[in-house]
Structure 1
Amino acid sequence: MMKIRAWAQYYVDMLVKLGVIRFSILSAATVIFFSITIQASINYILRGQVKLDDLYAAILFAIIITPWVVFFLSIVVQQLEHSRKRLSKMVYKLQEVRARDLQLQQELQVNLIELNAEFEERKKAEADRNQAFKDLENEVFHREQAQLIVEERSALVRSFIDSSPDLVYYSNEQGQFSGCNLAMEALTGKIEKELIGLTPFDVFDTEIAAKFAATDKAVLNTKLPETYEQWLTYPDGHKACFELRKVPFFGRRNEYIGVLGYGRDITERKKYQDALEKASRDKTTFISTISHELRTPLNGVVGLSRILLDSSLNAEQRQHLNTIYVSAQTMGNIFNDIIDLDKFDRRKFEIINQPIEFRSFLNDIKTLALLQVAQKGLVLAFEIFGDIPDFINADGTRLRQVLWNLVSNAVKFTDSGEISIRIFTSEEANNKIGLTFEVEDTGIGISAAGQDKIFAMYYQEQGSKRATGTGIGLSVAKSLMTAMGGDIWVRSELGEGSCFTIEFDVDGVDSLLPSGTAGSEQIKLSVLLVEDIELNVTVCTAILNKLGHTVEVAVDGRSAIQMAENNSYDLIFLDINLPDISGFEIIKILRENKTLELPPVVAITANVINNRQEYIEKGMNDAISKPVSINAVTGVINRLFNQVEKKVKPKLHYTADDQEMLDEYLDIDLLQQYLDTLGKDLLLQSVRFFEQTMPHYLTLLNTNLTARDQDAIVDEAHKIKGAAGTVGLMRIQQVSQLVQSPDQPTWWENIDDWVEQINTEYQHDVKRLKTWIESQDG
């Protein structure tokens, strides 16, 4: 088989090498040769001989047939060769393609492996991604849940903070507010959005803001909490005491971002503490007062007992008198023990001035002094210099207590010599009488250092013998003299005796009050009324309109100045206490305006007018007190416009006893004038308006009292006094006058009781007032 393929290949190679024609000729010759040979061989074999005709026929046949066969075969072979070559080329190419295919297949296998690996990786990545998506979805879900929880908690915390009555705020490092709760909004009068970005100086008064900013700064600098108490004022004017605690404020990354502040309202605690302190003061004051007031008669009992013991007595009388003497001494020691046990640092003295017979009072002092000095064999010198009035208006009990204390001390520290009591009187202006008492002894005296301390509580000067007693007598005497508007002092030399001097003024009881006269017709005026309290405006306007005058009203100082400069008035009634500037400042501004022809100006004040000249010197033409009455208005108009004053007589509808009781609570004369002028309905309307405004006044008064804000207390009391006086509540007006008078010596000691009296009694007085109004005709 291999040989055939080799010969076939050789045949093809020869064809290609020789070409078709040459190969065909050679092939034809070869065929002819082989044809002749074969034909001859066959004939020889078959016939035993070879004939030429057969050879010729074979040659001819070969010559005719062979070329074409060979040529056709050559062509076929050539075509086949070409086909073979092409096929070879194609096989080669197929081999190349196969090789390439194998290479590609190998590469594909590699790629498939890589692709499978990548697919697996992608599949794994897809799974991981799906898992990541799931995890992300879970995380988002959990975050959403967490966010919801945080939002719910934030809302809960915010709700808790907003519902808290405590102040909550936070500020940044620049001291600006960054947020707050509802309680802080209520305090500042600003919502949170308005408060953000403001500083304490934009919200509070300068003094409070300075303290606020200083403590914030301290927390910022030290990173330590700060706690302090601060009185703050709400937009409606009432005060509250807060315990403010400020702590550093940190963010989520523990970065320092500002100050977080809390404020707890401790006003009630303050009130409770003040009540406890007041109760303690009242208790100790009571003990001190009762012991000292009982000491005077007790010393009398001791002194008289001692004198009687030296007289002729039988045994039974002497025994009884000794019992009295020892009992009195024991009682005195008990008082001293009580005072030593319950020492107090603040005292409360109530001064009750009333007419006393002065000569009789001095005789009592002299008698008691004689009893004291007689026990020690001393001499009493009792001298009076000046004219002694028959009566004076003073607190005889308190004055007696001071003098008896001085006399007792003089006798106690004097072993020999005399006790001198000297009284000096002098007449002063405004029916005032100046009194001076000197109590001098020849005893052990007081050192220079001791004189500076002798009026201090519990101080006892050490002399030749140890001092006995509690050491509070001179301190109480000092306080009593201060309460009475006087003073006490001492001059002394050690071993040479001492001289105590008290000096004060009293009123004469026979002072005459000015009275009005009967009158004539009133002129008609254009009046500017400057008043900020609505109730007073209503009443004053009604009175002036009733009298035929026309009235325009200004409720503050700035408006009053503008109206006075732009309008022409016949008369100006000017309230002294206004919300922006005082009446004295207004009159000063108006007087300085040289282009303004200023009409008469009458000051209206809730204060007692002791000296009208003081108001005139400050620019006023006259002054009247609140509550404004018809008589006061007609009187001042008559004086300024040269008319005669006209008095309005009150109409009484009560029995004498009832009227006497009402006179203690109500200003019947004023109310009758209002009733005649305004009518019952308008007067009742004014009373109802007073009832509506009074709770607000009392709220502010009570918070200011707890805050111990003297100016604010006086301001609110002034408003209450004006409002109460306007509706004729005389007792409330009088108590309010005491509250608004801080220059009184014992003002702080009595202020709690006065305010309490207003709180508890004004409603009873309003009820009495309504009953009285309803009982009137018309």
Structure 2
Amino acid sequence: MVSFSGALTWEGLWGFLTGRMYMPHGSCYLWQTPLVGLHLMANLLTAIAYFSIPIMLVYFVKKRQDMPFSRVFILFSTFITACGIGHFLDMLTLWFPIYWIDGIEGSFTALISCYTAIELYTLLPKFLALKSPEELAIINQKLQLEVQERQKAESILSRIVAGTAAVTGRDFFSALAENLAIALDVCYVAIREILDNDTHSPQTLATWKNPKFPSIPAVAIASPATESDTSQTLQFPIQDRNSRTIGTLHVQHYQPTIDQELATKLTRIFAARAAAEIERKRALDELAWANNQLETINNQLEEKVAARTQALKTVNETLRSSEARYRSLVLNIPGAVYRCLPDAQWTMEFLSNGIEPITGYPATDFLHNQVRAFGDIIHPEDYPRVLASLGTLTPDNPTYTDEYRLVRVDQNICWVFEQGRGIFDATGHLIRLEGVMIEVTDRKLASQALDQERRQLRQLIQNMPVAMAMLDKKLCYVAHSHQWLVDYQLGEKTLVGRSHREVFVNLQEDYQQHLQTALGGQVITCEEDCYVQHDGKKQYLKWTVQPWYHRENQVGGVVIVTQNINDLVEGREAALAASRLKSSFLANMSHEIRTPMNGILGIAELLQTTQLNPQQQDFIKTLSQSANHLLYVINDILDFSKLEAGEMRLESVPLQIIDCVESVAELLAIQAQTKQVELITTIDPQLGGTVTGDSMRLRQILTNLVGNAIKFTHRGSVVIRALPMAEDEASVLVKFEVIDTGIGIDKADQAKLFRSFSQVDPSTTREYGGTGLGLAIAKHLVSLMAGDIGLESSPGQGSTFWFTARFQRLETPPPLPQLAPCRVLLIDSQPLSLEATRRQLSHYGVSVTAYGDFMGGILALEQQDSFDLMLLALPIVGNQAGIETVLDKVKTLLPRENLVLLLSAVDYPRLKNWLQPQGLRYLLRPLQQEALLRCLQAEKRLDQTMADDPDLDWTLAEILSNQGERSPDIQILVVEDTPINQTVILNQLEIIGFRSIDCVSNGREALTQLQQRTYDLILMDCLMPELDGYTTTEMIRQQEQEDTHQLIIAMTANAMKGDREKCLAAGMDGYIAKPTSIKTLRQVIDKCLQKAEKSRSAGAIAAPTIQENPEMVADPDAPVDLTQLVHFYGDNPNFHREVFRQFLDFAASYIEALQGAIANRDAAKISYEAHRLKGAASSVSVRKIPDWCIAIEFALATENYATIQTLSQQIETHFQAAHQFIQTYLESPD
């Protein structure tokens, strides 16, 4: 026992607190077994009771959650539970001293008790506010009424639910309206949906009118209620879950018996149900739309899935193919794939079987050095270098390549190329090598051989005698010749390794472009190029730039080869100068020959206008023939010059092949028939259409061939035949044949015929004449016509010359004319002519009876009197008596108008004056198809046609009679600087019929004359002093008004290619080459006047000729050639004196002007004055001066003024002698 007094001290208090002053629990002498049992039983039962009370309180609160003050119950439960635990702990302390636990639990119980007391204190006012039993009874009554109303509402609700539960969709709204109206006992219910929330436009979903109220009119139901109405109206918005109004529910009743509160509740409930149905309807609509969209998307998705499936399938197939190729590549890769350690033995961890073909050892021998180490077979000389190369590998530069030698199993050496990669660990140490090696023994040996070849190539190129350089793709020198250094002055040091751009710093851009083009694989060649060296010296080169190749189609660089062609260029320039000199010479010769020929032919024509005796007519004929022959020679030379220079160009104009052939035959008929050679034409009728070609050149070829055939045929015939060889819609190939019965040509001599200036035998030229150019020209022309030429001949058997030419079609042959049925009797003693005429008549559909002798034809005529026409071919050189005999024989058998004589052109001039009075019809041979057709058609008498033929011989009286047809009103201005040509042209114009003619000497005078009066026509010379014809024409054209045009015709002795075009380009309307005949002059003038609508009819005038006096004798050393003068102008001393006087009047001024131009070194003036003096001296046959003038023109081309000065002095000296000679001639008696 602890005394109480001890407790009052601090030590006692501490002992009280710490428990040291207490007796241990259970140690008291008073604790006996019954007492302990009593304590145990009491505490146990109390604890059990305490534990059961909270359980019941918690159960009550759980069941009656609506009861107030549930929190207090929980607190009581907690408090009682804590008390129960305290009692339980009191039991345990009897055995176990857990006083701390018991004390803590008691403290917790105390806290709960205090909290419960505080909570009860705060809830005490609420407890006092609880209802009394009376109030609870009133509340209970109200609750019973609510329960009744609820039951009523549940009954109505159950009915409506029962009426609408089985229906959905649109039927739901009808069922809802009906059941709601019946349940509420109202007269009208309407359900509407608002489709557009913005405009609130309603759509009625359902309405129902209660049949219980039939007395209420429908209009009242449909109209809204007003304040005076006794109705009760309920209208509730139907809202979705987002409180948006989607419709209205309208309830209307016209009696005040409705329970509005109940109706409002039910209406609100079913408004929500209607909202759900509207949402459901909209959801179904949206679901249907979504299903459609989903179906579309699903289809698209299926398509995409199918496409991606296919793509995946393709990718898989590609992947499988790629894997197969990879496996094949790995299995078939050339060389060996390896992985090894970077040690001295090259210990192999992996090595493919490709090593065995390289070394002869199996791969297993090297794996982990089982049999041998790979380092052991590396060539001893290469091993240190290969091993050292591994030391250069770093993580930043792990790759390596190398070439080295291996010792094979057979102890032979092989080369391998190795490429690999080093594998490094995280610390940067080399731990492994991986790579591939391939055998390159062949390539290495080839490379060594190539190096040897390159060394040899360099040596070869270095010693090449031409400038050659070999560049790589970077245009650096690989090799070059020594000549390259010499030609381009590059010194003696080698250029190998240096850049081409460095060596040639100022290389032109086009040369650089050529090098780039060659690097692209093209070969560029230049036959001539002018390269300017750095010192300004020009060098003419022929060069080639072409690529060279490492291997097939792999360009390694370019090779440049240049050749100095200075000598060739100089030679070519000399040749071109010679060619230009030749062309100039031909042009000058043509001009100088044509100038006096103009006087010769002009004077011959003028002589024809005088009264001449027969001998004088023969002289004129000989003179004309000689002059024309000379013109033919000149024309042949000019044509050959054009062809040789490649300057001949064919025209492409419409033509008729039949007309060309027949015009040639007509032209040469007299020549053939004079020799009593029959000239026959046979032309295939299929050639009757119009084609395009050069008719003039076609006639030239035919004229040459037919002329030769006539020349070399002494008896028999010459046949001209034309027939188509091949044709299509666009063109036709025509074959022309000229068949003669002449002397023939040996086969060995036939090849000579088409050479220039060549004939079969030199004696041929002496016997038959000719330049030997005709067939050469024909061959060139035929080649231009896309044809060929040849001959078939035997000596004594005649010849057949043929050629082909292609023409473009313009139109198909015209249809044959429709002729009336006609029977013709044909008599011709020439078999070929007979057959040709018979075929032509048959082609026209005429019935022909042909006889080769006259008597046979007469017998046929006697036996048959039904011939409509008789064609009788008279023999060449027929006579009037023979024709009269024929007339006597047939006069009783055939009317005279049905007889047609076939005459030769040579006989016609003698017989025409007799035939016309007899009323006989005739045709000229060779027959022309058009004339024969007119005869068959009987359109007009052929004697009238033939009388107007311009190619027949005209008498002097006929020529003079046509002068009256020329209008005297036409004004002509002649611009000519040479007095002799002035005389000739003026007389020719007067003969044609012109009377109003003025003449001036140069272009400046012509311009002055044009200011004073107007001319219809100007005949303009081209080369004149002061102002030439070209410039004059240009000035005239510049001064013309828009509505005026001055006709200008060029008259020039220049007849080379381009002269005519030059005149026309200058603005002239026509071109006449001198010398010209009256006929040509008239034709050109008529053509130009017709264009100006001032044409006048004029007859064709044949050129009369004169014959020089063979008895004229002249001194060969005299300064003037009188024989040539007579040849030009005839034996007419008066005319000779006239031209001499004109020459003396102008020659001195010409020479003075020439000397002045030489002193001033005026090249253009020198050329003009020399040309003018040459023409004047040639016109009066002054010797030497024309030649010296030509020499001046040649010396002028090389600017050799010393020679020109010497020639000028010689001209002046010779002119003094000529002046004295002419003066003496003029003073001599007639």
> Quick check: TM above 0.5?
no
Give the structure with the larger helix fraction: 1
Compute the TM-score of the two structures, normalised by the length of structure 2: 0.20
Larger radius of gyration, structure 1 or 2? 2
Larger relative contact order (C-alpha < 8 A, sep ≥ 6)? 1
